[in-house]
Structure 1
Amino acid sequence: MSRAPQAKIADKRRLDPRERELEIVQGAVAFFAEFGFDGSTRELAARLGITQPLLYRYFPSKEALLDRVYEEVYVNRWNKDWESQLRDRAVPLEDRLVRFYQAYAKVILNYEWVRLFMFAGLKGLDFNARYLAFLRSAAFDLIAREIRREHGMPVDGPILDEEAELIWGLHAAIFYLGVRQFIYGMPVPDDRDADLALRVRAFLRGMPAAVGDLIQSEEMEEARRTG
């Protein structure tokens, strides 16, 4: 398994409060990624070379610190430009998706992101549910509508849950590369960009046909109910 990044040890000089807060957050990200969320704030403070009271001056509870860790890892690393790039119809859809997933993989396929996500699920924290709800609104529905538009399907109305599940399957397959590397310590493809491009092409060969069948079935059922 790839080695954990070493948590930054705070120096003893007086820091600007914003610098100190960021230092604590970055240290917490590295600490919890290595030890899981059962790691104590006392241990974290010792790891950072600060006192526990100083840590609590910035974060009054462990829960407040975990919320800030979530924001740092899962919110701040999302690039809003990805959404506009996915909508850029001057670029072929396959190229848009390949570009998005290659950029997205650079953000999520690292030791901290993967291990924090796994530890959160095992601990019963809400990181996973919050992030997946965010993905549904920021990416899944957008990708589904672009696929519908590309293949002449209706784009108005809600996206079917089944469509979101198919897109989540692609995301999950990409995330699993990180699980293989940072949880199981197993090898992953040497050329990640080429592997991701292949996965997107395979997805686009099957998704439109499956969605077309779903929409047709929904329309037939609606006609039966109203006919």
Structure 2
Amino acid sequence: MATGTDSRPRPIWIMHFTHIDNLPRILKAGRLFSDAGVGPQLSTNVGAVEIKTHRRHRPVPCPPGGVVADYVPFYFAPCSPMMFRIACDHREGRQGCYPGGDDPLVYLLSTVEEVHAAGLPWVASDGNCAAGLTTFSTDFDELATLVDWPLMRAKVWKDIPEDMDRKRRRAAEFLVHREFPLHLLAGYAVRTAERREEVRQVLHDAGMIEPYVDVRPNWYYGYTRREVR
């Protein structure tokens, strides 16, 4: 369960990831759109169809309301359960899933404080938005105890016998209603130096002179495809 003390980081970093192929269109639009409003912006969709379908029907019980798919999703920590699934789907070569793994994914980084100061409507969750017991809040001060901050800092987040709710809590989200303007970004992060150069080139092509792109291999799983015997 979330801790009762205020152990949140300052600032509170939030991260959205997307496939590198999607960056040119995102940069051209100047914003990220919610799943319900993204239209043709995504060249490569890494999300699972069943999860996206569920998010289109999961109500958000506090203002501005709507459903989860009406919001641009951010996580509070890297190596999320969703990224783990993407990496495992690649490793196992699962049919019907996005096949490329997590290496081509790019983190877009901002902070709760930036979003809050900009006056954008947002909602935070204490865990996976698809889970029925997940709760939501729009109170900035409630973030101190809503999110399990020690778990966000942990490298291993899997469920254990004495706490079978860790995976759900690690998937806590910060949801920005409808769209997120890119001028609120602090920078980008990728898995390798080679990816950094690719992303820098995409950003330069979009007119960004000195884009900040960091290499964070520990934010990825990086599984390789298993051999079929």
TM-score (norm 2): 0.25
Bigger proportion of residues as strand: 2
Bigger proportion of residues as helix: 1
TM-score (norm 1): 0.25
